[in-house]
Structure 1
Amino acid sequence: MFRSMLAPLRRRLLQVAVARRGSVVPDVTTLGRFPDSSTYPLRRDGVHPVPLLAETREREPVTRLTRVLGMDVWLVTGYDEARGVLADGAAWSNDMRHLLGNRKRTAAEGIGGLGMTDPPDHTRLRGLLTPEFTKRRLQRLQVQIESVVADALDDVERRGPVVDLVPHFGFAVPFQVICDLLGMPDHDRDAFHELGIARFDLSQGGAGVFGAATESREFLIEAVARQRTEPGEGLIGALIRDHGEEFDDVELGGLVDGVFLGGYETSASMLSMGVYLLLQNPDAWQTLRTGEPAEIDAIVEELLRLLCPVQVAFPRFARNDVELGGHSVAKGDVVIVSLSGANRDPSFVPDPDMFSIRGERGGHLAFGHGLHRCVGAELARMEIRTALTALARRFPDLRLAPGVEPTFRELSVVHSLDALPVQLAHEDAVVGA
């Protein structure tokens, strides 16, 4: 109890010291809850960003959001400005190790992987994964993904006539796919299942996020270490066989951690929210069942643009003083790119808050852009396309369960539904049956 009373005081003293002297190394992992006034880029009204995000973008596409640990935090909401920041690795760094304070840390508490690493380390690590995630290479997974989806839909049907699709479809499909891809044994899957959501939940501030990140990295570092002596058939085993002498367990564990995060939580969010949106757009639902591949691809891209579950990109840090959107950004300042805001910029697409499968709506930033664009983008598209078309064809009369409201996450980097009760067919059903 005494330690919990001291924690807020310690954080405040650190902030004061940084502001006055600039000599104390800031520690982002000690941050408590983020100020409510600065969290609106991560809040939504159902699937839509809160109106304040659009109002901010209309006023100025780059704005000062808050100040924390002695640094200004800038928010980018304009599409052109967002693409510019994401593409410019010379002006902006993703490496945030300078914000980890002076405390000695375990290897799992460090920050690395692809999202928070700059070249040359980023180039070296990404080079391991890129060959595994090309469109051609991923085609070998199509039959396996279809099998995973079919098993999940069989389970959904058994649980009907009313079922919550979030755990039994949204999460079930990508979790099984990514575990198969990585080659994680069944006993590891059960232990790892609950760690994903906590990685993006900001309700407990930086401490909660970094604590969950440490747990999952520890788990995967240990998984790599176990496979050193007997590599499995999945990606972990392949990386060990092909590059085990070049990379240690910590590096490979961090890389695998990034693959898991990118291939699980975000796809789960897209599937759940995608169903929710499609059930309100009967034409698109019908197209999933009977449309041509190009028409189905257009639906997937529009869902990605509009829903954009990853609300903000990894933070960028100014390498030097720089002008951005008419503002002077100081060296070391933080820039947060709102992917959901940029995807709904009227200068990018007309009627940006409308779901439309007519006309050209490509070029979205749901997977990021530039050097740090999601390496698993094609795998995500395969999963979304395969799972949603199979759901629509198996349950053409699917509808939201009457009398039960879907519930959404309150504050998370990856937005999603917490529950999506649906009725599988037209006949009356009792919720919970």
Structure 2
Amino acid sequence: MTETLPTGTQTPGTQTPPAFPVPRECPFAPPERYAELRAAEPVSRVTLPTGKQPWIVTRYADVRALLADPRVSADIRHPNFPAMGIGEQEAGAKSRPFIRTDPPEHTRFRRMLQAEFTVKRIRDMRPAIQRTVDDLIDAMLDSGPPVDLVTAFANAVSTTTVLGLFGAPTDDIEFFRDVTRISGGRTSSAEEVGAALASLFRMLDGLITAREQAPGDDLLSKLVVNHLRAGVVTRHELLSAIGITIVAGRETTTSMIALGTLLLLRHPEKLARLRAEPELMPAAVEELLRILSVADSIPLRVAAADIDLDGTRIREGDGIIALLAAADHDPEVFPDPQRLDLDRVNRHHVAFGYGVHQCIGQNLARLELEIAIGTLIRRIPDLRLAGAFDDLEYKNDAATFGIEAMQVTW
């Protein structure tokens, strides 16, 4: 007898699934195709640039269920891991970033970092972040418009903050931007990604040596003293953990500061309200995170067992991509999802992922966004685009969606 497969299950020899990823038609919303799939085929096959054919998941409930399911693996070494970058899997299998590992290995690294990312620890960073933001705005005002907000502000805020956490020098923040651009680029080869990460690891290795000789009170010193010296982690493991924390932390926050500001500039009535009611900034940050969902396709998984999801059977060994932007625009959960609603009651978005791999730096990201955007719109009340909105270029070929450059004036 022939087994009857659940709806949506595909067998070898069927038509080639459509290409993925799909570029956004609007920078403030996921691709329109997501809504079509969410309504008609919420768990469906796609074809990646690598030729692999994983499943994509588009409904909010399914995304949360999948990311909380112990039957899925984040191990990048799996043959069917749905890496979208050409060199991503090969380089990742060598560097072993902890976000691409499973428990108990993942748990070991997460516990190592968790104590430094508590709400209280992050709250204590507010004065330092505020000084950074004010200094950067001072420099913008002194230089005069036009200014590229991505380079002069968004990237500088996020990179300076995460480097400060580790006590790393901030005299060449563009170096970190270049590393991220290459390592997170979907067209970068394994050799290019490996070279970019090697340059980062060399720099970090020098910092580790310095902390071994003279520890301070920064996070890197604590990791060296409490974990490297104690033999809890190897030097390579520590380099990988620090590297992915810096790269992931700075890129997503850079994108959110720039795109969040752009979205608010397109809604002057919201800007006016935020200036009049600055206490609304935390709510605004949550809504911006939900709408923009810049880490849309970061949650890459492989089924470790057969999983039935929304009428579709995902076979053991199949790759899966949980689409965060699709989930965060699910109208069943967020009515009128593309509307920027500062009074939205439901703030349980998945912009930071969900489950055991949920972003460890989410509290820091929230604080950075609140301070950076809130201070910017207060101190430069006549901030506006220096060029045409339609001329802006976006990073559709990067792991994190973002904006290339954004000239502003006042």
| TM over 0.5, shorter chain | yes
Cα deviation, residue 216, structure 1:
3.4
Structure 1 residue 148 corresponds to structure 2 residue 123: no
Secondary structure in 2 aligned to 1:335?
Answer: strand
Secondary structure in 2 aligned to 1:354?
Answer: coil
Q: In the aligned structure 2, how far is the partner of 1:163 from the partner of 1:70? A: 41
Structure 1 residue 75 corresponds to structure 2 residue 59: no
For this pair of structures, how many residues does the alignment match?
387
Q: In the aligned structure 2, how far is the partner of 1:374 from the partner of 1:179? A: 18
Structure 1 residue 347 corresponds to structure 2 residue 332: yes
Structure 1 residue 368 corresponds to structure 2 residue 353: yes
Residues 20-419 of structure 1 mapped to structure 2, 5 A cutoff: 37-41=18-22, 43-66=24-47, 72-88=53-69, 90-99=70-79, 110-186=94-170, 189=173, 191-204=175-188, 209=193, 212-213=196-197, 215-244=199-228, 245=230, 246-293=232-279, 295-403=280-388, 405-419=391-405
CA contact (8 A) 2:19 2:49 kept: no
CA-atom RMSD, angstroms? 2.8
| Identity within the alignment, % | 32
Residue 431 (structure 1) aligns with = none
Q: In the aligned structure 2, how far is the partner of 1:355 from the partner of 1:118? A: 36
Deviations 1:140-195 (A, max 9, x none): 11100000001110121123222110100110111111111111134675643421
Residue 430 (structure 1) aligns with = none
Q: In the aligned structure 1, how far is the partner of 2:150 from the partner of 2:49? A: 35
Q: In the aligned structure 2, how far is the partner of 1:384 from the partner of 1:54? A: 28
Cα deviation, residue 383, structure 1:
0.3
1:91 partner amino acid: R
Q: In the aligned structure 2, how far is the partner of 1:326 from the partner of 1:205? A: 37
1:316 partner amino acid: R
Q: In the aligned structure 1, how far is the partner of 2:80 from the partner of 2:53? A: 17
Distance 1:209 1:43, change over 3 A: farther
CA contact (8 A) 1:316 1:335 kept: yes
CA contact (8 A) 1:114 1:372 kept: no
Q: In the aligned structure 2, how far is the partner of 1:361 from the partner of 1:209? A: 39
Q: In the aligned structure 1, how far is the partner of 2:262 from the partner of 2:51? A: 41
Deviations 1:232-288 (A, max 9, x none): 442111111222222221111111112112320000000000110001112321233
Q: In the aligned structure 2, how far is the partner of 1:188 from the partner of 1:170? A: 15
1:85 partner amino acid: L
Secondary structure in 2 aligned to 1:49?
Answer: coil
CA contact (8 A) 2:76 2:92 kept: no
Secondary structure in 2 aligned to 1:331?
Answer: coil
Distance 1:192 1:261, change over 3 A: closer
1:198 partner amino acid: I
Cα deviation, residue 341, structure 1:
0.9
Q: In the aligned structure 1, how far is the partner of 2:20 from the partner of 2:371? A: 34
Distance 1:208 1:306, change over 3 A: farther
Deviations 1:29-69 (A, max 9, x none): xxxxxx99423345443332221222122212111112787
Secondary structure in 1 aligned to 2:54?
Answer: strand
Secondary structure in 1 aligned to 2:397?
Answer: coil
1:341 partner amino acid: A
Q: In the aligned structure 1, how far is the partner of 2:156 from the partner of 2:304? A: 41
Q: In the aligned structure 2, how far is the partner of 1:292 from the partner of 1:311? A: 28
2:407 partner amino acid: P
Q: In the aligned structure 2, how far is the partner of 1:37 from the partner of 1:162? A: 42
1:178 partner amino acid: V
2:39 partner amino acid: E
Residue 84 (structure 2) aligns with = none
Residue 85 (structure 2) aligns with = none
Uncovered stretches (5+) of structure 2, i.e. residues with no partner: 1-11, 82-88
Structure 1 residue 421 corresponds to structure 2 residue 407: yes
Q: In the aligned structure 1, how far is the partner of 2:404 from the partner of 2:147? A: 13
Uncovered stretches (5+) of structure 1, i.e. residues with no partner: 1-18, 20-34, 425-433
Secondary structure in 2 aligned to 1:317?
Answer: strand
